[in-house]
Amino acid sequence: MEVVSPELNSLLPEEIMDTEAIVVVEDLPGETAVPVEELEPEEGQQEAPLPMETELSETLSSTNSGSQLLLATSSSPAVKSATAKLAGAKPASPALSTGLQKLTAPFTLSPNHQIILNKVAASSAEVKPATTQVIKQEGQKLVVTTIGKAGQPIVLALPHTSPKPGQAQTGGEVKAQSQQFKVVTIGSRTDLKPVVGVQAMSSASQLLGTSQHSPLQAQQLKTVQIAKKTQTSSTGPMITKFIITKPVNSKGVSGQTSVSPVIAGRVLSQNPPGTPPRTIAISDSVVSATLNTTPQSISSSKIAISPLKSPSKLTVVSMASQSPSSPQKPVGVPINVALGQPILAVQQSAPSSPAKVVSNHSAPQTVKPVQTVAVGGVGTPQFKTIFPLATSPNVQQIQVPGSRFHYVRLVTASTASSSPQTGSPSTNSHTLQTAIEMTGTCNMIPTAKPVMVNTTPVRMSVPIVPAQTVKQVVPKPLNATSQIVTTSQAQQRLIMPATPLPQIQPNLTSLPPGTVLAPAPGTGNVGYAVLPAQYVTQLQQSTFVSLASNTSFAASAGIQTQARLPLNGLSPSDSASRPRKPCNCTKSQCLKLYCDCFANGEFCNNCNCTNCFNNLEHETERLKAIKACLDRNPEAFKPKIGKGKEGESDRRHSKGCNCKRSGCLKNYCECYEIQAKIMCSSICKCIGCKNFEESPERKTLMHLADAAEVRVQQQTAAKTKLSSQISDLLTRTTPAITSGGGKLPYTFVTKDVAEATCECLIEEAERAELSHRPQAVAERMILEEFGRCLMRIINSAGKAKTDPCSINC
């Protein structure tokens, strides 16, 4: 997994950036790790300093010898020096010795500040069968790359949990199958002391990541843990958890002691008592990542970032990136990030369905779409979404009932087990999804003891959004097959860019509402894709959404890659609230503010535009355009309707209008515009404005508009009522007519009845004639007879209700 690059950090708001850091291994000794159990799942805030945990060695050793844990700081010269394997408890370097000395698993340090831990030597051909170890971790490697001061990524290699016995026996196979996910921390600033703990849980090891909090920040710290699964059996699958805790108010902390994010993986880093940690819990239940000694091979990861300053919902979607060419096993890394508040839950490949545990998938498999999790923002009207696009996974947003978080399921095209597995405890590998589904919330308390691992400080650019604010979208029911499949080994990554943004470095605080940063297609892992927040909701509508930008993904594995954006570009909830008109842009490529879609931070969808670039396929261009707009006007994407000064209307246009001919009473005027209908203010430069409070024209228009609206409503109501009546009448009469057994009398006037009636009338006429009655009397007698006939018909009709056969004159 990758976390924000230093360059990106500079762009991030201080609120976001200040605190995060990756715990440096050196810091481990003497530092206390907080058991996950002790963290407050719900609030994510800790009222008191968490107990420190020093059991790293114990947990590691006790678990399985084959497990691999590696954390190293890029800044550490010793680490940089070379790849070194740690045999037994011997540290590779002094710096590492303290933190890793107890690690029994060998690990390698890559030249570029990457440390690869293989408990079971990845390269070594000696792979012990699973029998010896409850869990086979051979060949499984979790690579966590953190970017420290030097910008060098640190790679953690974790043994993947369930390799097939026959496989991964050889180093070569292991390497081929190895999956890596990088965790890149963005904090280039040295002053920051972020703490990143990476916690990977293996059933055997049952390690839980915890964060350590200083007393000062303990109150501010919120911890969100996702995907926790208690492992009952030692043989259970490995679970890696990242817990990111962020002090609610980073600014409250001065200097380095400000909020520091903690990423907890298999090993939790321990912070010095004074260091307020942010904890990122990443659960890699299935982390079946095979070993990759080369960090470069790792597909890019993304981190969602949203400006905290502007109230907005931030949705972070991490997409498991997996290079199509490399059949690597996906590593499921569920990540919860709570910055200031429980905000983000990112989940990537989870091999197992919720209740089910995916056991060893050592064999390389085609990755099926992985669903990952999007996270809502806290109490913010808008949300931004950062979408990692480097690889081409399908993305699904799912909402876990009862969960405060929104989850986006990302599907990668690499390895996935097509068959659901009923997990026996021993074989269970836990994926993030599994954990999430099981818990239904990001707040999960791991039962296992976390191990703290210190990493280099990192600035987290992850926006945190309270799930509550996120629109509640009911996830489409996924068939069991798809879920299970998707959850299988997928590579999970944090949404942070491992590499600096390309030329484009937009001010993240000013990104359009709903922004997703993701590696842009064609830019490798470097680029970011800025996705409109609506897109997230759009994703929610579609069961499977593939990112069109990722062509490689589409090509891989024949996974569902059809992007199915909602019609009209509206999410269900959006459509109900504010329908958006499709644009008709022809020349702007929908990359200028002329385009309402673009201006609103939305993708064009079902629009009538031509040569549209406002989509994922042209994320690079789109990002440039956004940057250009922001350069011209930093507030270009902020809402135009804001609150006016005191004494003025509650709402006013942020810039005011410049109307000259319309009198500000037509929809040309942005103040008057249909949906706003606000009056012009002092900041307007309009000429001949009639859009003010006392304007008779405006009143007239408003009255007319109101009257028209009333008429429309009345007409609508009348039509509805009439339709209802007609419908009701039809429902009552139609059966009688068609069946012949109707309830209305006239339905009984059949040919026979008519003939009988006529006979009665003729008979009465003859009677009158025989009695020599005058003609007037005769006619009266006939009419009276006719009346009697009608009465009999009516009576017969009445009887027919009970006796349909009683129709007779």
596, 621, 641, 761: residue in contact with DNA (rule CB under 7 A) = 596
* Contact pattern from residue 544 through residue 583 relative to DNA, giving x for each residue in contact according to CB under 7 A and a dash for the rest: -------------------------------------x-x
List binders of DNA among 683-712 (CB under 7 A): 686
Provide the 3-class DSSP secondary structure of residue 736.
helix
Least spacing, CB of residue 653 vs DNA, in Å: 8
232, 479, 577, 658: residue in contact with DNA (rule CB under 7 A) = 658
Q: Closer to DNA at the Cβ: 282 or 669?
A: 669
Least spacing, CB of residue 21 vs DNA, in Å: 37
Q: How far from the centroid of its chain's Cα atoms is residue 128's Cα?
A: 39
Residue 11 touches DNA, criterion: CB under 7 A? no
Tell the burial category of 141 from Cβ atoms under 10 Å away from its Cβ (0-12, 13-18, 19+). Answer: buried
Question: CA-to-CA distance for 352 and 162, rounded, in angstroms?
Answer: 12
CB 337 within 8 A of CB 344: yes
629, 678, 793, 809: residue in contact with DNA (rule CB under 7 A) = 629
Least spacing, CB of residue 304 vs DNA, in Å: 25
List binders of DNA among 309-348 (CB under 7 A): none
Window contacting DNA (CB under 7 A); options: 141-149, 346-354, 523-531, 669-677 = 669-677
Least spacing, CB of residue 387 vs DNA, in Å: 23
Q: Closer to DNA at the Cβ: 590 or 789?
A: 590
Provide the 3-class DSSP secondary structure of residue 434.
helix
User: Token digits for 274?
Assistant: 């004074």
Least spacing, CB of residue 632 vs DNA, in Å: 5
Q: Which of 469, 593, 454, 581 is nearest to 536 (CA)?
A: 469
Q: Closer to DNA at the Cβ: 30 or 579?
A: 579
Q: Closer to DNA at the Cβ: 363 or 686?
A: 686
The secondary element (H helix, E strand) that includes residue 239 is strand 239-247
Question: CA-to-CA distance for 262 and 783, rounded, in angstroms?
Answer: 101
Least spacing, CB of residue 598 vs DNA, in Å: 8
CA-to-CA separations, 552 to 181, 391, 522, 555, 558, in angstroms, rounded: 18, 7, 10, 5, 11
572, 575, 594, 753: residue in contact with DNA (rule CB under 7 A) = 594
Window contacting DNA (CB under 7 A); options: 139-147, 209-217, 568-576, 587-595 = 587-595
CB 491 within 8 A of CB 553: no
Residue 614 touches DNA, criterion: CB under 7 A? no
Question: CA-to-CA distance for 742 and 736, rounded, in angstroms?
Answer: 3
Least spacing, CB of residue 687 vs DNA, in Å: 8
Q: How far from the centroid of its chain's Cα atoms is residue 771's Cα?
A: 97
Q: How far from the centroid of its chain's Cα atoms is residue 190's Cα?
A: 32
Window contacting DNA (CB under 7 A); options: 42-50, 104-112, 475-483, 657-665 = 657-665
Q: How many CA atoms lie within 13 A of 427 on its CB side?
A: 17
Window contacting DNA (CB under 7 A); options: 63-71, 474-482, 659-667, 727-735 = 659-667
Using only the alpha carbons of the chain, give its radius of gyration. Answer: 35
CA-to-CA separations, 768 to 214, 372, 761, 763, 777, in angstroms, rounded: 117, 95, 11, 9, 8
421, 588, 620, 695: residue in contact with DNA (rule CB under 7 A) = 588
Residue 584 touches DNA, criterion: CB under 7 A? yes
587, 643, 703, 719: residue in contact with DNA (rule CB under 7 A) = 587
From start to end of 310-446, where are the E strands? 313-316, 335-339, 341-346, 371-372, 383-387, 394-399, 406-411
Question: CA-to-CA distance for 214 and 30, rounded, in angstroms?
Answer: 14
Residue 666 touches DNA, criterion: CB under 7 A? yes
Q: Closer to DNA at the Cβ: 546 or 662?
A: 662
354 residue type, one letter: P
Least spacing, CB of residue 568 vs DNA, in Å: 14
Question: CA-to-CA distance for 64 and 473, rounded, in angstroms?
Answer: 41
Least spacing, CB of residue 569 vs DNA, in Å: 12
Residue 599 touches DNA, criterion: CB under 7 A? yes
Least spacing, CB of residue 603 vs DNA, in Å: 14
Residue 586 touches DNA, criterion: CB under 7 A? yes
Start-to-end C-alpha separation, the chain: 91
Least spacing, CB of residue 682 vs DNA, in Å: 15
Residue 659 touches DNA, criterion: CB under 7 A? yes
Least spacing, CB of residue 273 vs DNA, in Å: 51
Question: CA-to-CA distance for 318 and 393, rounded, in angstroms?
Answer: 9
Window contacting DNA (CB under 7 A); options: 40-48, 533-541, 570-578, 668-676 = 668-676
Residue 7 touches DNA, criterion: CB under 7 A? no
Q: Closer to DNA at the Cβ: 700 or 727?
A: 700
89, 216, 636, 749: residue in contact with DNA (rule CB under 7 A) = 636
Q: Closer to DNA at the Cβ: 572 or 656?
A: 656
Least spacing, CB of residue 675 vs DNA, in Å: 9
Window contacting DNA (CB under 7 A); options: 82-90, 163-171, 339-347, 585-593 = 585-593
Residue 805 touches DNA, criterion: CB under 7 A? no
Window contacting DNA (CB under 7 A); options: 44-52, 254-262, 285-293, 633-641 = 633-641
Q: How far from the centroid of its chain's Cα atoms is residue 677's Cα?
A: 34
Q: Closer to DNA at the Cβ: 202 or 589?
A: 589
Q: Closer to DNA at the Cβ: 315 or 382?
A: 382
User: Token digits for 223?
Assistant: 């911890």
CA-to-CA separations, 753 to 738, 759, 785, 787, 807, in angstroms, rounded: 18, 10, 14, 14, 8
Q: Which of 105, 134, 159 is nearest to 231 (CA)?
A: 134
Q: Closer to DNA at the Cβ: 46 or 588?
A: 588
Question: CA-to-CA distance for 614 and 537, rounded, in angstroms?
Answer: 17
* Bridge partners, 265 (sequence order): none
DSSP string, 737-804: HHHS--SSGGGG--HHHHHHHHHHHHHHHHHHHHTT--HHHHHHHHHHHHHHHHHHHHHHHHHHTT-T
Q: What residues contact residue 398 under an 8 Å CB cut-off, 6+ apart?
A: 371, 373, 406, 407, 408, 409, 475, 478, 540
Residue 786 touches DNA, criterion: CB under 7 A? no
Window contacting DNA (CB under 7 A); options: 105-113, 313-321, 430-438, 595-603 = 595-603
Residue 670 touches DNA, criterion: CB under 7 A? yes
Question: CA-to-CA distance for 57 and 230, rounded, in angstroms?
Answer: 20
Question: CA-to-CA distance for 143 and 158, rounded, in angstroms?
Answer: 6
Window contacting DNA (CB under 7 A); options: 311-319, 523-531, 628-636, 747-755 = 628-636
CA-to-CA separations, 722 to 709, 713, 718, 735, in angstroms, rounded: 19, 14, 6, 20
Q: Closer to DNA at the Cβ: 244 or 585?
A: 585
Count of residues touching DNA (by CB under 7 A): 37
Q: Which of 454, 373, 26 is nearest to 210 (CA)?
A: 454
Least spacing, CB of residue 338 vs DNA, in Å: 36
Q: Closer to DNA at the Cβ: 548 or 664?
A: 664
595, 616, 678, 807: residue in contact with DNA (rule CB under 7 A) = 595
Using CB under 7 A, list all residues that contact DNA: 581, 583-588, 590, 592-596, 599, 628-629, 632-633, 636, 640, 655, 657-664, 666-670, 673-674, 686
